[in-house]
Amino acid sequence: MKTLLIIDVQNDFMPSGSLPVPNGDEIVPVINKVQDKFDLVIGTQDWHPKDHISFASNHEEKSNFDVIEIHNQPQTLWPDHCVQGTEGAKFHPGLNTEKFEAIFRKGTDKTIDSYSAFYDNGHLKSTGLTGYLKDKEITQLYVCGLAADICVYFSIIDALQEGFSCYFIDDASKALDAKEFETLKKEMIAKGIQIVRSESL
């Protein structure tokens, strides 16, 4: 089955959200257009408790985008975003979710962040997505969404390590830091990830 994994197309990552990805709303019609080209469509949501360790507001004398160390790894401190049950955590209202067969939520453990759709940042706990896909005998995975340089990037790297053939849909994704993402794209290509555009699907 041809499978599409849509990462975190949520209100808080839109231009009016608390952690805006530049032009993040522009990918919504592209994602809606390509969904019919896939047999299986899966969505993910950042789904944080309000006391999540990655929120700068939960650290005294720290500011948004400061970097600290958690579990022996660097951790960027973010503005509060995608808090469970809030409007910001909902999917963009224009996103077509009717074809979503499943939604995987991540970042639910307040003690560790989870960029990837497959694991938390310490690879301590699986979301169950690998097992779900392998149970359906999925071998190829097309990935898109927000933000391309963070949650999409870490998801597709984990997918590759889990044995899937991976495709990144470039025009159905936007990066928080577009310049940084150009470097990451070169890395993705070197690892064997194919970069495609929606019109070629």
- Which tokens sit at 127? 């979301």
Query: Is residue 166 among the annotated active site residues?
Result: no
- Residue from 46, 113, 144, 151 carrying the catalytic annotation: 151
Q: Which residues of 53-85 are buried (b: 16+ CB within 10 A; e: fewer)?
A: bbbbeeeeeeeeeeeeeeeeeebebbbbbbbee
- Other CB atoms within a 10 A radius of the CB of residue 33 amount to 14
- Which tokens sit at 135? 């149970």
**Bridge partners, residue 173, by sequence:** 145
DSSP state of 21: P
- Residue from 82, 106, 113, 158 carrying the catalytic annotation: 106
Which ranges constitute the DSSP H helices of the chain?
Answer: 27-34, 129-135, 153-161, 178-191
- Residue from 8, 12, 113, 120 carrying the catalytic annotation: 8
How far CA 161 is from CA of 25, 39, 199, in Å, comes to 30, 23, 27
**Catalytic residue numbers, as ranges:** 8, 106, 151
